[in-house]
Structure 1
């Protein structure tokens, strides 16, 4: 089976022959070694030197130089909003305290569908809306329990500063 041994980041993508694509949810985008099958039926072995987070729009480089495009699957998420920036920061703090993957935007936070957290957010005065969209959580190091959150250039990490 042909191996994919490295990741070509979205911002470094220039040309190259894209022969297939893999659609992965956020749990499957944190991997080192796993057999994969592209949407077009190409079987290959992802075999990276170390675990890495595959981002939407990245490509996996096969041993023969061909590329397999990575697409983030749409997932059921909860979109959390708050009446003020301060209220949103409080919500982010409470969510962060639970050590669950969260994607932090300028005026909203997205988490995996979880009715217990939805109730907590409403109790704190936030709004919760179910949405279907790709999930790009901060760090991405939750899957597989690895504590190595590699910060890759070009991605904006929002730090809550009070």
Structure 2
């Protein structure tokens, strides 16, 4: 029978990790799901409401002093480099205007691969290259506010 998890924590409680679950960005948006650990164990995640799990979050095992660590999977992404800070803000605006998930770092932006968006960004003067690494985009403005994650236009 799989372990059952109904809580998420940022800090480990006493006990040993039961295992690690590696999930892509899209797979880290969930409420209830069977998760397959890297050691071939299975856990049942059953949360009260949907969450976005971050790299390093801990799924607390019910009735035990243990947890499962969440690891962000490597994904096929585009790394976007701008000429300067103002150019990066302009590029981020164009991506946001298209409602694209984006990880915004001080010196770059990461998005999921899309050849049409890549051509647009290069046309705007960005240097764009394909990379494979974990993806942790910025959460939307309505994340964690009881809403359904969308807004009206």
TM-score bucket (shorter structure): 0.7 to 0.9
**TM-score scaled by length of structure 1:** 0.83
- Match in the other structure for 1:13: 12
CA distance in 2, matches of 1:20, 1:63: 14
- Match in the other structure for 1:57: 56
Once the two structures are superposed, the pairs formed by residues 1-162 of structure 1 within 5 Å of their partners are 1-9=2-10, 12-65=11-64, 66-139=66-139, 148-150=142-144
Secondary structure of the residue that 2:106 maps to in structure 1? coil
Secondary structure of the residue that 1:93 maps to in structure 2? helix
Q: CA RMSD in A?
A: 1.5
Offset from partner CA, 1:64-107 (integer Å, 9 cap, x none): 23211111001011000111111111100000000010000112
Q: Which structure 2 residue ranges, 5 or more long, are not aligned? A: 146-153
CA distance in 1, matches of 2:142, 2:125: 33
**TM-score scaled by length of structure 2:** 0.88
Q: Which structure 1 residue ranges, 5 or more long, are not aligned? A: 142-146, 152-162
- Number of positions where the alignment pairs a residue of Structure 1 with one of Structure 2: 143
Offset from partner CA, 1:94-150 (integer Å, 9 cap, x none): 0000001000011210000111110000000001011111000000x5xxxxx8412
CA distance in 2, matches of 1:87, 1:15: 47
Assess if the C-alpha contact under 8 Å between 2:74 and 2:132 holds in 1.
Answer: yes
Secondary structure of the residue that 1:5 maps to in structure 2? strand
Assess if the C-alpha contact under 8 Å between 2:12 and 2:67 holds in 1.
Answer: no
CA distance in 1, matches of 2:121, 2:76: 17
